[in-house]
Amino acid sequence: MKIKHSLFSRRTFLNSLLGGWLAAVASSLLYPILKFIIPPYREPDEVELVKSEYEDLEPNSTKNFMWGSKPGILKRNSDGTFSAFVGVCTHLDCNVSYLPEQRKFYCACHDGWYDESGNNISGPPPRPLRQLGISIGDETIKILKSGQVNNEKV
Partner 1 sequence: MKKSKLLAWLDERLGISQLSRFGQKKEVPQHNHSLWYYTGSSILFFFIIQIITGFMLLLYYKPTLEQANDSVAAIMTEVPFGWIIRSIHSWSASFMIAFVIIHMLSIWLTKSYRKPRELTWMSGVLLMGLSLAFGFTGYLLPWDELSLSATKVGTDIPRTIPLIGEWITKFLRGGEDVTGDTITRFFGMHVSILPLAIFLVLALHIFLIQKHGISQPLSYDREGRKARTIPFWPNFLLRESIFWLVLSGILLTVAVFFPHHLGQPADLTAPAPEGIKPEWYFLFLFQTLKIFPAHLLLIEGETLAVLLILLSAVLFFFLPVIDTDPSGKKGKIITLIAVFFIAYAVGMSLWSLL
Partner 2 sequence: MKTVLIGVLILLSAGLLITGKVHAQQEIDLETRNEAKTVVHPGPQDIVEKVGIYVFLAWVWISIVVLIYFLRLKVKEADRLYELKYYDSFKKESDQQK
Binding site for partner 2 (CB under 8 A): 11, 14-15, 17-18, 21-22, 24-25, 28
The item of partner 2, partner 1, none sharing an interface with residue 154, based on CB under 5 to 8 Å by kind, is none
Residue 14 touches which member of partner 2, partner 1, none, C-beta under 5-8 Å by kind: partner 2
Inter-CA distances, 4 with 7, 14, 141, Å: 9, 20, 82
Considering the complex, what minimum distance in angstroms separates the CB of residue 4 from partner 1? 20
Give the strand pairing for 131-136 and 149-150: parallel
Q: Which of 15, 23, 35, 100 binds partner 1 (CB under 8 A)?
A: 35
Contacts of 72 (CB under 8 A, 6+ apart): 47, 64, 65, 66, 84, 85, 86, 87, 132, 143
Q: What is the pairing mode between strands 46-50 and 140-144?
A: antiparallel
> Which of residues 25 and 66 has its CB atom nearest to partner 1 in the complex?
25
Which residues does 124 contact at the CB level (< 8 Å), separation at least 6? 91, 92, 110, 111, 112
**Chosen residue from 36, 56, 58, 69 binding partner 1 by CB under 8 A:** 36
Of residues 47-86, which lie at the interface with partner 1 (CB under 8 A)? none
Element (H, E) at 8: none
User: Rounded distance, CA 71 to CA 19, Å?
Assistant: 50
Q: Which does 39 bind (CB under 5 to 8 A by kind): partner 2, partner 1, none?
A: partner 1
Distance CA 145, CA 84 (A): 10
- Distance of closest approach, residue 39 Cβ to partner 1, in angstroms: 8
Residue 36 touches which of partner 1, partner 2, none (Cβ within 5-8 Å per kind): partner 1
Enumerate binding residues for partner 1 (CB under 8 A): 32-33, 35-37, 39-40
